[in-house]
């Protein structure tokens, strides 16, 4: 196990805690840069999807994982971002500009949603976001003059100065660039006082308030940042799929995003990436599993829902820290070998943590 000898307060908020991290993340970046030569087109495309979902997951992670505000309608922001991107690019805007607009408009929508949401919490907020998600999906489906309704919209290729970025390799680099940028921005946000305020609100609103944190401002900001990042992911999503329709941004997608952050590990930046990789590769594992199931069962559409449901249940019950928590435990096991104990990561249990007045 590595022990850090801290000689400076600044060490606490360094981007990299020690040289080992620099090495490993550097290697990761190098592998990602070399990916088009290492993987075929199919896996490159899957990797792009992982990054897009990781960006969306980071957005939701900031809201749910770090600020502690649940949202069951986050696919709506993905939808807003995707549609803004598609419409602007179709009118000839260069795609980076369109992406910025997508993020800005999605963030604006997030602010509008966040305003009433600031007054409510817990289950009320969950229902408010659920309602918002349904309303956005319906608006996208009914505003036919702009969005093309349920028939969907074909997204033009991303172009900049006459260069087409639609092919797998260039688009992979675009996604990688945005992904690295968003990750750095998230990390920087979380080490700043704003991010620490978010975490304080998650842990206890009352103590955060007594420490002088402006709850309204911080929560609204969390909503805006989260929505903007998810909107950015939506813009990439639109280009990657090249065809968008309202049903892609419905409740199923919102639950996918929640599954992503829960399975990845609530409250960790790594979690968004682990979760995204899990979400993208899961259908392929299910496809493999279908081969050794009796055909009557394998053919039904229910198998995937069943597996998704079981995964959510098992993770919530047995590994609330998600894949990232599992990874930490595994790493600690080897670092401390043979002195790892089962109780090292035991959860603290309250009899019942109540949101009501006792």
Partner 1 sequence: MNASRRGFGNVRLPEIASAETGDAAAAAPGEEGETLLALLHVLISGIALGCIYALVALGFVLIYKATEAVNFAQGELMMLGAFAGFALTQLLGVPFYLAMMIAVLLVAGLGVLIERIAIRPILGEPQFSVVMLTIGLGYVARGGVTMTPFLGADTYALPTPYKGEMLRFAGLALSVDQAVVIGATMALCAALYALFRYTKIGIAMQAASQNQLAAYYMGIPVRGLNALVWGLSAGVAAIAGLLLAPLTFVHVNMGLIGLKAFPAAVIGGFGSLPGAVIGGLVIGVVESLAGFFLPEGAKDIAAYVVVLLMLMIKPTGLFGDTQRKKV
- Considering only residues 307 to 326 of the shown chain, the ones binding partner 1 according to CB under 8 A are 307-313, 316-317, 320
Q: Cβ 250 to partner 1, closest distance in Å?
A: 6
Q: Cβ 312 to partner 1, closest distance in Å?
A: 3
The smaller minimum CB distance to partner 1, of residues 141 and 232, is found at 141
How many amino acids of this chain bind partner 1 (CB under 8 A)? 67
The smaller minimum CB distance to partner 1, of residues 79 and 101, is found at 79
Q: Cβ 4 to partner 1, closest distance in Å?
A: 30
Per-residue x/- track, 215-254, partner 1 (CB under 8 A): --------------------------x-----xxxxxxx-
| Number of C-beta neighbours around residue 255 at 10 A | 15
Please give the DSSP secondary-structure letter assigned to residue 11: G
The smaller minimum CB distance to partner 1, of residues 2 and 358, is found at 358
What residues contact 80, with CB distance under 8 A and at least 6 apart?
A: 102, 105, 106, 109, 136, 227, 231, 234
Buried-exposed string 26-63: b where 16+ CB fall within 10 A, e elsewhere: eeeeeebeebbeeeeeeebbbbbbbbbbbbbbbbbbbb
Please identify which residue in 142, 217, 331, 341 interacts with partner 1, judged by CB under 8 A: 142
Q: Cβ 173 to partner 1, closest distance in Å?
A: 20
Tokens 């172009």 correspond to 159
- Considering only residues 20 to 39 of the shown chain, the ones binding partner 1 according to CB under 8 A are none
Which helix (H) or strand (E) is 153 found in, with range? strand 153-154
The reply on whether position 48 binds partner 1 by CB under 8 A is no
Q: How many CA atoms lie within 13 A of 73 on its CB side?
A: 23
List, as one string, the DSSP characters of 71-106: -S-THHHHHHHHHHHHHHHHTT--HHHHHHHHHHHH
Please identify which residue in 31, 135, 180, 330 interacts with partner 1, judged by CB under 8 A: 135
Q: Cβ 5 to partner 1, closest distance in Å?
A: 35
- Considering only residues 156 to 215 of the shown chain, the ones binding partner 1 according to CB under 8 A are 206
Alpha-carbon gap, residue 327 to 329, rounded angstroms: 5
Please identify which residue in 47, 89, 98, 128 interacts with partner 1, judged by CB under 8 A: 128
The smaller minimum CB distance to partner 1, of residues 231 and 240, is found at 240
The residue range among 129-137, 174-182, 219-227, 330-338 that interacts with partner 1, by the rule CB under 8 A, is 129-137
The reply on whether position 255 binds partner 1 by CB under 8 A is yes
Is 15 in a helix, a strand, or coil?
coil
The reply on whether position 146 binds partner 1 by CB under 8 A is no
User: Beta 153-154 vs 243-244: how paired, if at all?
Assistant: antiparallel
Q: Cβ 17 to partner 1, closest distance in Å?
A: 27
Helices assigned H by DSSP within the chain:
19-38, 41-60, 75-90, 95-117, 123-142, 144-147, 168-191, 193-203, 205-210, 215-241, 251-264, 269-291, 295-299, 302-318, 322-336
The residue range among 93-101, 131-139, 211-219, 330-338 that interacts with partner 1, by the rule CB under 8 A, is 131-139
The reply on whether position 349 binds partner 1 by CB under 8 A is yes
Per-residue x/- track, 260-299, partner 1 (CB under 8 A): --x---x-------------x--x------------xx--
Beta bridge partners of 164: 159
List, as one string, the DSSP characters of 193-249: HHHHHHHHHHH-HHHHHHTT--HHHHHHHHHHHHHHHHHHHHHHHHHHHSEE-GGGG
Point out which residues bind partner 1 (CB under 8 A): 49, 64, 68, 70, 72, 116, 119-120, 122-124, 126-128, 130-132, 134-135, 138, 141-142, 206, 241, 247-253, 255, 258-259, 262, 266, 280, 283, 296-297, 300-313, 316-317, 320, 349-358
């Amino acid at each position: 196990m590595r022990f850090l000898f801290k000689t400076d307060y600044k060490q606490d908020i360094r981007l990299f805690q020690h040289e080992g991290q620099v090495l490993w993340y550097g290697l990761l970046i190098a592998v990602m840069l070399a990916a088009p030569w290492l993987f075929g087109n199919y896996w490159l495309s899957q990797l792009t999807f992982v990054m897009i979902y990781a960006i969306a997951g980071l957005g939701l992670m900031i809201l749910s994982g770090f600020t502690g505000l649940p949202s069951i309608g986050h696919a709506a922001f993905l939808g807003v971002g995707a549609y803004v991107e598609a419409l602007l690019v179709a009118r000839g805007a260069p795609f980076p500009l369109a992406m910025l607009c997508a993020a800005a408009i999605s963030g604006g929508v997030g602010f509008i949603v966040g305003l009433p949401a600031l007054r409510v919490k817990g289950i009320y907020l969950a229902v408010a976001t659920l309602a918002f998600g349904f309303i956005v999906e319906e608006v996208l489906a009914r505003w036919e003059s702009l969005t093309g309704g349920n028939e969907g919209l074909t997204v033009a290729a991303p172009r900049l100065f006459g260069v087409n970025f639609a092919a797998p390799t260039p688009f992979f680099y675009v996604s990688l660039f945005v992904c690295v940028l968003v990750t750095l921005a998230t990390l920087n946000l979380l080490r700043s006082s704003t991010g620490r305020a978010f975490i304080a609100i998650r842990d206890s609103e009352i103590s955060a308030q007594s420490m002088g944190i402006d709850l309204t401002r911080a929560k609204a900001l969390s909503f805006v940042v989260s929505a903007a990042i998810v909107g950015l992911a939506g813009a990439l999503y639109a280009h990657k799929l090249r065809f968008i329709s309202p049903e892609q941004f419905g409740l199923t997608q919102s639950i996918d995003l929640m599954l992503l952050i829960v399975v990845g590990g609530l409250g960790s930046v790594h979690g968004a990436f682990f979760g995204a990789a899990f979400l993208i590769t899961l259908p392929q594992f299910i496809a493999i599993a279908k081969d050794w199931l009796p055909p009557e069962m394998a053919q039904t559409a229910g198998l995937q829902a069943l597996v998704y449901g079981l995964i959510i249940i098992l993770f919530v019950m047995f590994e609330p820290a998600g894949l990232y928590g599992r990874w930490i435990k595994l790493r600690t096991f080897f670092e401390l070998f043979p002195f790892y104990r089962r109780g090292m990561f035991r959860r603290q249990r309250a009899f019942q943590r109540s949101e009501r007045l006792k």
